[in-house]
Structure 1
Amino acid sequence: MEEELTIQEVAARTGLSVHTLRYYERIGLLSAVSRATSGHRRYTADDLTWITFLQCLRATGMSIQQMLAFAELRRQGDPGVPGRLAFLEAHQQQLLEHMRELEGYLAVIEKKIQRYRIILADEKKDTTPGQVPTSPHFSLTTQRKEESVPFYGTH
């Protein structure tokens, strides 16, 4: 007989709250979970695999509405495979676009970090105890607005 897990065990394994698991079942993301004679939910390994996949979809920005649409395609079985494939390919493209966008943001942040390290290194070289730094970089953050990147500001 296949191992069955309680809702608390599934919550512990997935990191989802018991409330979230019940919510997912109530709205139809999880098909009717089997019940023990006591009425307590019993989750199978297949349920756990599906829940883990739902977490992946959610963590990658998929809305609950989109997840519900995908779950409906899944319930269709083999006839729903072309729709599921198209759905995931579209989601994959959105993720790739978002990753490229994030890489651009990361490059801007890396440039700022590099710039601030240079400023700090120059200040250490140009400062003796009791003196105010005289480095030409010292005033960059307040005077050289023309180097600022739109949206990210100068600081």
Structure 2
Amino acid sequence: MYKISEVAKITGFSIPTLRYYEELGISAPAKNKSGYREYSEADIEWLRFIQRLKQTGMALETIKKYSELRSQGNQTIEKRMKLLATQKKRLLSERRKIDDHLAFLETKQTTYKQMLADREQ
């Protein structure tokens, strides 16, 4: 079992963020007799998963929905898969935009290289 300060170091989430996630119902660490949070390995793995979802740009509200579905058990797997698929579509759309921006810059660089080569002749 891990204290909240240890989990903050392990995951990179701040202590206030960990408390906020608990308040939202995204995480649910056990509490000991004194009322202190005790995180398990499973809790830490779940927080790492949340961290990855955040890194994909998934909104906290969607992560909360995913967490709610997860807590309802395996009968919600299809709904969770849909949330992941929606996020994947968003990322692919962003990738296409970035690819378009890169192509624009490469085209402009090619133009300038040609202009420099023409100038040297």
Q: Normalised by the size of structure 2, how large is the TM-score?
A: 0.83
Q: Which amino acid aligns with 1:37?
A: K
Q: Aligned partners of 1:16, 1:113: CA distance in 2, in Å?
A: 41
Q: Aligned partners of 1:14, 1:106: CA distance in 2, in Å?
A: 33
The question of 1:19 aligning with 2:37 is answered no
Structure 2 residue aligned with 1:140: none
Q: Aligned partners of 1:71, 1:114: CA distance in 2, in Å?
A: 48
Structure 2 residue aligned with 1:127: none
Q: Which amino acid aligns with 1:42?
A: E
Spell out, residue by residue over 1:129-150, the C-alpha distance to the aligned partner (whole angstroms, 9 max, x if none): xxxxxx96xxxxxxxxxxxxxx
The question of 1:5 aligning with 2:2 is answered yes
Q: Which amino acid aligns with 1:83?
A: K
Q: Aligned partners of 1:109, 1:14: CA distance in 2, in Å?
A: 37
The question of 1:69 aligning with 2:73 is answered no
Over the matched positions of the two proteins, sequence identity in percent amounts to 35
Report the CA distance between 1:43 and its aligned residue.
Answer: 0.7
Q: Aligned partners of 2:16, 2:23: CA distance in 1, in Å?
A: 10
Name the SS of the counterpart of 2:105 in structure 1. helix
Question: 1:6/1:111 Cα in 2 relative to 1: closer, same or farther (>3 Å)?
Answer: farther
Report the CA distance between 1:87 and its aligned residue.
Answer: 1.5
* Contact 2:7-2:39 within 8 A present in 1 as well: yes
* Contact 2:11-2:48 within 8 A present in 1 as well: yes
In terms of fraction of residues, the more helix-rich structure is 2
The question of 1:38 aligning with 2:34 is answered yes
Q: Aligned partners of 1:115, 1:70: CA distance in 2, in Å?
A: 47
Report the CA distance between 1:115 and its aligned residue.
Answer: 5.8
Report the CA distance between 1:102 and its aligned residue.
Answer: 1.3
The one of the two structures with greater contact order (alpha-carbon pairs below 8 A, sep at least 6) is: 2
Report the CA distance between 1:10 and its aligned residue.
Answer: 1.0
Spell out, residue by residue over 1:16-56, the C-alpha distance to the aligned partner (whole angstroms, 9 max, x if none): 1001000000011112x112233221111111111111111
Unaligned runs of 5+ residues in structure 2 are none
Question: 1:115/1:20 Cα in 2 relative to 1: closer, same or farther (>3 Å)?
Answer: farther
Unaligned runs of 5+ residues in structure 1 are 123-134, 137-155
Q: Please identify the structure whose Cα radius of gyration is greater.
A: 1
